[in-house]
Structure 1
Amino acid sequence: MELHLHRTYYKEGTNGVLFINDSFVGFCIELPWKDNLKRVSCIPEGVYQLKARYSDKFKHHLVLQNVSNRSLILIHPANDANKELQGCIAPVSSLTGIAKGLQSRIIFQKILSACFQAFDRKEKVTLTIKN
């Protein structure tokens, strides 16, 4: 299964449009591009494999594999990238501004469900990020 994130960069943050197998799913918010600096920048464009992950803080969520010079880049719910993210990606149902959105948990659950179904079918799940 393939997820595609098409980004638009702004000084204050990054907005994106997310597709699963070429079907529109929702939007994403991220930190601004700051040369891939840990905890303050979105990650570089590229293709990343997604894996299931669980933590007490986020419960079930997704983690991106092999991010250059970074670790624990997650896909998890958040509605304000600059207040709630440290380099991760947050899906949102609608955008309300640069790096801000609404109803993150609703769209996150749709993405998580689709990915977990693919994992159950033993499919490889990738996320392609591009401008």
Structure 2
Amino acid sequence: MLLVIQVYCGFAQNQFNLTIERKLTTAHCTLGYLIADDEVLCYSLELPWKDNQNNISCIPEGTYDGILRYDKTDGWRIQLKDVPNRTGVQIHMGNYTSQIKGCILVGKSASIDQCSVQNSAAAYQKLKKAFYGTSTPNSTPNKTITLTFK
């Protein structure tokens, strides 16, 4: 029994499962929640659904694998793989839909009237801490990243 528990715990530690639960869509934006391993971390902001048109629409519902990117000014991003008809879709900091072309912004609070999220840097750090397990990581854990959009 102990062996089974250790194997299961080891498997769970190697997974990082994110869910974007889209809650409200207007003509200008889509607001929702970013959930990591069943814990709501922050709000999410995306473009509205416009038939997956590049640069003006959020991405289709579904499950995507993610990879880490370290080459941007913020030093760390999750990028989605194999999004239909899209490349470079990432979760990153920002406040308004004018700052994205299909990516996902995160924030500690949200405004439907302004189609915006606020305190994006704090939300981004919370996401980073959820992935690494610490605020001050010194190495990258070997984790499989999965993102589900509902």
Report the count of equivalent residues: 128
* 2:123 equivalent in structure 1: 107
Q: Percent identity?
A: 32
Deviations 1:25-55 (A, max 9, x none): 1100011111111111110011011111023
Deviation at 1:121, TM superposition (A): 3.5
Tell me, yes or no, if the aligned pair for 2:43 and 2:107 is still in contact at 8 Å.
yes
1:73 aligned residue (83, 89, 97): 89
* 1:90 equivalent in structure 2: 105
Q: Secondary structure at 2:144's aligned position in 1? A: coil
Deviation at 1:58, TM superposition (A): 4.2
Q: Residues of 1 paired with 2:84 and 2:31: CA distance?
A: 21
Indicate the structure with greater strand content: 1
Name the TM-score, length of structure 2 as normaliser: 0.78
* 2:147 equivalent in structure 1: 127
Cα 1:109–1:10 change in 2 (3 A) is same
Q: Residues of 2 paired with 1:113 and 1:48: CA distance?
A: 21
Name the TM-score, length of structure 1 as normaliser: 0.89
For the aligned residue pairs, the C-alpha RMSD in angstroms reads: 1.7
Gaps of at least 5 residues in structure 2 are: 1-15, 134-138
Q: Residues of 2 paired with 1:116 and 1:86: CA distance?
A: 27
Q: Does 1:46 align with 2:62?
A: yes
Tell me, yes or no, if the aligned pair for 1:26 and 1:92 is still in contact at 8 Å.
yes
Decide which structure has the larger Cα Rg and report it: 2
Q: Does 1:20 align with 2:36?
A: yes
